Amino acid sequence: MFKYVRMIVTEGGCMDRIRKISTDRNLTRVVLALMVFGSIMIVSTDVGQTTSDTNIVWRTIAHQAMFCIISLGIMYFFSKYFSFRLFNRLQPLLSVFFLGLMLLPFLFSASGGSHAWIRLGSFSIQPAEFIKPFMVLLAANAINRTKKEKELLHSFNDLFKVPNIMIVLFAMELVLQKDLGTLSILAMTYLACVEIPTFPVLKKTQNRIIVALLVLVVLGVGLFFVTNIGTNIIAQTPFSHVATRIENAKNPYNDIYGEGYQPANSLYAIGSSNVIGKGLGESSRKYGYLTQADNDYILAVVLEETGIIGFGLIILMYVFLLGRLLYYAFRTNDLAYKVILGGTATYIFMHFFLNVGGVTALMPFTGVPLLFISSGGSSLMSVCMALGICQSCIRYIRAKEMHL
């Protein structure tokens, strides 16, 4: 008995010493900078709704302040108290919880063609945002378990049995929700997590995944952009809105007063900007032309008001954020930490890539937010949760270097 008490005391003391090690403060600073920039742009954008609601700005400030405070609290909590041991114990319960939570949006009306939101008065929750960091954790936990359970390294299916089952179930729910944007991010994030480990048993599967992705890209370009074969097929399915978005990416001005209204006005906003923009608050397109100006299309308003300088600032902050995550991913030899850091970097990058590509009509619009910049508490809390877990990994990486 004294042996176990000694182990608990020793582990507790070790945890206390690790928690005293600082996280990456520069990473935290750039997150704060992105939040401040995003909050300013959200408030500026919502000025466009004052013609119908004079109190919208004050409500926006209150909502945004609340979301930022809660998100920072979540990031701090996970940076201090995340551990694989606790997550491994809670994994079955959390899996059932998230699968059930993903079904709740079907009780509410669709928005933008997707059943993706739980609406509670003036607030809405998008459960799918939270399954992105959860899938990263599932993959990382599978890797972490191999430290004690060597039999998991017999095959790819043995190692990733639980994550593989969960990704299939989540994918089915997202298809039913018609939320293909989130499905794309979730799939790419999980595949990145699978590609990171260097176990010999995974090499064949990892090579097959890369080949499959290249084939899908070539087929996608051929079926949807070189020809209209894929677009015509999708137009006859329940995903006809996807076919419309593909056509809008090809030519947003084709149906400028119909389905192409928003993408066309997004390009008008971008086209009317310059190096420094029209000035903060001076966007004209936010006055009814862009109905999702504070969310999916906020980048168009950012470019119109702050120009290339504002967009360049966002890119620099994203590059720094992703650079810090990848820096620690390459710095550690612990594969579980590599998966968390690399998977989170992929998750953040995919949001940026799909949002920027969709707003500029360089690719079909997917409806995913620009993290930290677009309004939405679910996406902000989710990414802060992921970054808090990354900060916890950074603590352990630094503790190992200090031999604690």
The full DSSP string for 41-74 is HHHHHHGGGTTT-TTHHHHHHHHHHHHHHHHHHH
143-158 average pLDDT score: 91
- pLDDT of 6 reads 42
Decide: pTM greater than 0.85.
Answer: yes
142 pLDDT exceeds 90? yes
Q: Based on C-alpha coordinates, what's the Rg of the chain?
A: 22
In sequence order, the β-bridge partners of residue 125 are: 118
142-162 average pLDDT score: 92
Separation CA 301–CA 311 (nearest Å): 10
User: pLDDT tens-digit profile of 183-220?
Assistant: 999 999 999 999 999 999 999 999 999 999 999 999 99
268 pLDDT exceeds 90? no
Q: Which residue has the higher pLDDT, 294 or 44?
A: 44
- pLDDT of 59 reads 82
| Residue 194 · residue 202 · CB < 8 Å | yes
What is the average pLDDT value for the chain, to the nearest integer? 87
- pLDDT of 57 reads 78
Per-residue tokens: 310? 């504002």
- pLDDT of 330 reads 93
299-324 average pLDDT score: 94
Q: Which residue type occupies 221? A: V
For 337, left (φ over 0), alpha (ψ -120 to 50), or beta? alpha
What would the DSSP string read from start to end of 292-307? TTTTTTHHHHHHHHHH
Beta carbons within 10 angstroms of residue 327's beta carbon:
13
Beta carbons within 10 angstroms of residue 315's beta carbon:
13
128 pLDDT exceeds 70? yes
Nearest to 139 by CA among 80, 206, 81, 196: 196
| Residue 121 · residue 178 · CB < 8 Å | no
Is 404 in a helix, a strand, or coil? Answer: coil
Share of the chain above pLDDT 70, in %: 91
Per-residue pLDDT band at 171 (split at 50, 70, 90): very high
372-384 average pLDDT score: 92
Separation CA 156–CA 203 (nearest Å): 9
Is 332 in a helix, a strand, or coil? Answer: coil
2 pLDDT exceeds 50? no
